[in-house]
Amino acid sequence: MQKFRDVLSRWDGGDLSMMEAGELLGMSERQFRRYRDRYEEAGDAGLLDRRLGKLSTRRVPAEAIEE
C-alpha cells in the first residue's frame, strides 16, 4: 500500500505518466486507473484484496468430501 501511495503521489505531481506508474507497480495502465479510483473512493480499504474471507466458487461440497 505504501508503494502505491508513493507512486500515486508522484503521478499526481506530474512526475510520472499513468503508464510509467503502472510499470513501477507491475501492472497495466488500466489496472493502475482502477486502483486509483478505488483508493479515492475507499482509501486504504479500497486496495485490499476483495477475495479474502470469501469461499471459493469451485469449492467441493461438504457432502462430497464425506463420501
Rounded mean pLDDT of 58-64? 84
Residue 67 has pLDDT above 80, yes or no: no
Q: Domain for residue 30, yes or no?
A: yes
Q: pTM for this structure?
A: 0.67
**Structure confidence by residue, pLDDT tens digits, 1-52:** 888 889 988 988 888 898 999 999 899 999 999 989 998 888 887 777 777 7
Q: Domain for residue 43, yes or no?
A: yes
Residue 53 has pLDDT above 90, yes or no: no
Q: Domain for residue 33, yes or no?
A: yes
Q: Domain for residue 64, yes or no?
A: no
Q: Which amino acid is at 34?
A: R
Number of domains in the chain: 1
Q: Domain for residue 66, yes or no?
A: no
> What per-residue confidence (pLDDT) applies to 21?
92
Q: Domain for residue 26, yes or no?
A: yes
Q: Domain for residue 67, yes or no?
A: no
Residue 12's domain spans which residues? 1-47
Q: Which amino acid is at 26?
A: G
Rounded mean pLDDT of 47-64? 80
Please check whether residue 46 is in contact with residue 33, taking contact to mean a CB–CB distance below 8 angstroms.
no
Q: Which amino acid is at 33?
A: R
